[in-house]
Amino acid sequence: MQAVEVEPEQLGTFYRYSVYGISLRSQFSLALPAPGNASLQDIELREGSRALFEEAARGATLKPSPTAWYRHAHLPGGSTYLRWEGVAEFLVSPDGLHLTCGWLGENSHESFQVYLLGQALSFALVKSGFEPLHSTCVVINGSAVAFLGSSGFGKSSLAACFLGAGYPLLTDDLLLLQGTRKGYCGYPGPPRIKLFPRVARRFLGANLSGVPMNSGTQKLVLPLLENQTHRTTAPLKAIYVLNSPRKVSRQQRISITPLSPREAFLALLRNTFNRLLVDPERLHRQFEAMTRLVAKVPVATISYPRVLDSLPEVREAILSDM
Amino acid sequence: MPEKRVSLDQIATIDDDNVVSRDLEGEAVILNLKSGTYFGLNEVGTRIWALIPEHRSLRKVFEALKKEYEVSPEALENDLLELVDQLQAKGLVSLAQPDGRNKA
C-alpha cells in the first residue's frame, strides 16, 4: 500500500493522508496516498465511542437526508450528527476541522471509507468553506472533464468507460475545485470507483477485487491501480451534466447541448454535493462560487440512452466535443 | 377587476442585506438568503432588475425602458408592474409610496 507518515501520540497513533487536496490526520488506516507539501486544509479524523455519540445526539431529532439513505441532525453549538443505520455514525465539528467517526455494524472497512470520504467529509468541507460538487471526473490529455448528475444517473459507469480506454480517473462522486489564474483545477479523490459488477466487468475486466458498498447493494467499491488514477491536480476543461435516464429512450441519439451561464448555474446548484447545510452564509458563498465557475468553464448537458454497449459511443462524442 | 398592487408611483428597493444577484451574460440569477430560494430573470427582467437600484422610482424605470424597447407603453408598463409585483411577493424588493409610506 502507500507509504504514510505515522506520528505516535499520547492518545494513539495518527496517520496522515491526502484526498481532494485536503490533508487528513487520521486515527484510522485509510486507502489513501500520503500528503504532499501543500494542502488546502487540515482535517482531523478521530474515533468516537458509542457513548460519545449518544451524548452528543441526545434530544436531537434525526431527519432523513433528501435521498433517505442516512439521517442527520444539526446540534446546538453548530456540530452536525450523521448516521447510516448499520454502517457508521459521524460528528462534524462546527468549523469542519474535526470529524469523529464510529462503526455501527459489520460492514467492511472499504464500505466505511465510502461514507467517511463522501457525505461525512462533505459536511466538514462545506463547514470549512469549500463547495464540493457531486461529480465524477476523468482526465483527458491532462485536463479534467467532470460529469455531473444525481445518484444513479451513470456518472461512474461513464467514467468506467473512459477508464477502460486508458483515461485515468481524477475522482469518483465528489469533486473539489479551486480557482486558479487561468481557470479552475480539480483535486484527486480516493483511488477507487464504485460500480455494479456488470459495468466493472465490461470496462475494467473480469478480475474484480471490489467489496460491496453495504449489505443492501451489489454495487462494489473497486480499488484502482496507479495507472488508472490521476494523482495530481488537473485543470478543469469542461463540465457535462448527465440528463436523467428516465428522460431518454433506448432509441434516442446521443446529444450534447451547451448551457447558457444561467442554465449552467442552476445545474451546478442542483449538483452540489451537500444540500443540507443551508445557512445564509453558506448559500451566499455557494452562490458566488458557482457564478464565478460558470463564467470560466463551459457547461453542457449530455443526453444518451443508458445502454452499456452505447457508452463507448458516448465517450467518443465527448472526446469529439472537446 | 382586482386592484393593482403595484403602480408606477411607487419606490422600489432591493434588500441588499438579504438578496444577492449576478448578471450572467444578460440573464440575472438571484438568491434570497432569508428563504434560500433562487430566481432567474430573462433579458428584459434582468434590465429591470438593474434599473431598480439605479432609479428606485418605478416611473423613472418605466421611462428608461421606454427609451430602450420598442413596445407599446401600455404593454411595457404592464410587464414592468407584473414583474415588480412578483419580485415583491418573493421578498426580493420592497415597495413604498413617494412619501415614504410602505406598501401594505
**Interface contact flag, B36 A288, Cβ < 8 Å:** no
In chain B, which residues have their Cβ closer than 8 Å to the Cβ of A276? none
Give me the tens of pLDDT residue by residue for chain B, a chain 104 residues long: 455 579 999 999 999 999 999 999 999 999 999 999 999 999 999 999 999 999 999 999 999 999 999 999 999 999 999 999 999 999 999 999 877 666 54
Mean pLDDT of chain A: 91
Confidence class of residue A291 from pLDDT cuts 50, 70 and 90? very high
How close is the nearest chain B Cα to the Cα of A262, in Å? 6
Residue A77 has pLDDT above 50, yes or no: yes
B window 1-30, beta carbon within 8 A of A: 18, 20, 22, 24-25, 27-29
pLDDT tens track for A162-182 = 999 999 999 999 999 999 999
DSSP sequence for chain B? -PPPS--TTSEEEE-TTTEEEEEETTEEEEEETTTTEEEEE-HHHHHHHHHHHHH-BHHHHHHHHHHH--S-HHHHHHHHHHHHHHHHHTTSEEEE-TTSPBP-
Three-state DSSP class for B67?
A: helix
A296/B contact by beta carbon, under 8 A: no
Which percentage of chain A shows pLDDT scores above 90? 77
Q: What is the pLDDT of residue B5?
A: 78
In chain B, which residues have their Cβ closer than 8 Å to the Cβ of A288? 20
**Interface contact flag, B31 A283, Cβ < 8 Å:** yes
Domains observed in chain A: 6-125 (no CATH), 133-189+226-321 (3.90.228.20)
Q: What is the pLDDT of residue A6?
A: 52
Size of interface A-B (CB pairs under 8 A): 39
Confidence class of residue A1 from pLDDT cuts 50, 70 and 90? very low
pTM: 0.91
- Which run of H or of E encompasses A293? helix A280-296
pLDDT tens track for A301-320 = 999 999 999 999 999 999 99
In chain A, which residues have their Cβ closer than 8 Å to the Cβ of B28? 262
In chain B, which residues have their Cβ closer than 8 Å to the Cβ of A295? 24
Closest alpha carbon within chain B to A276: B36
Closest to A117 in 3D by CA, of A99, A104, A97: A99
**Interface contact flag, B31 A266, Cβ < 8 Å:** no
Enter the DSSP assignment of A173. S
pLDDT tens track for A228-245 = 999 999 999 999 999 999
pLDDT tens track for A93-119 = 999 999 999 988 877 788 889 899 999
Enter the DSSP assignment of B25. T
- Which run of H or of E encompasses A313? helix A311-321
Complex ipTM? 0.86
Cell, residue A126:
462545506
- Report in angstroms the alpha-carbon separations of A276 from A102, A123, A190, B23: 21, 9, 23, 27
Question: Do residues A317 and A305 touch, judged by C-beta distance below 8 A?
Answer: no
In chain A, which residues have their Cβ closer than 8 Å to the Cβ of B33? 280, 283-284
Domain residue limits, chain B:
11-91
**Interface contact flag, A280 B40, Cβ < 8 Å:** no
Provide the β-strand partners of residue B95.
Answer: B12
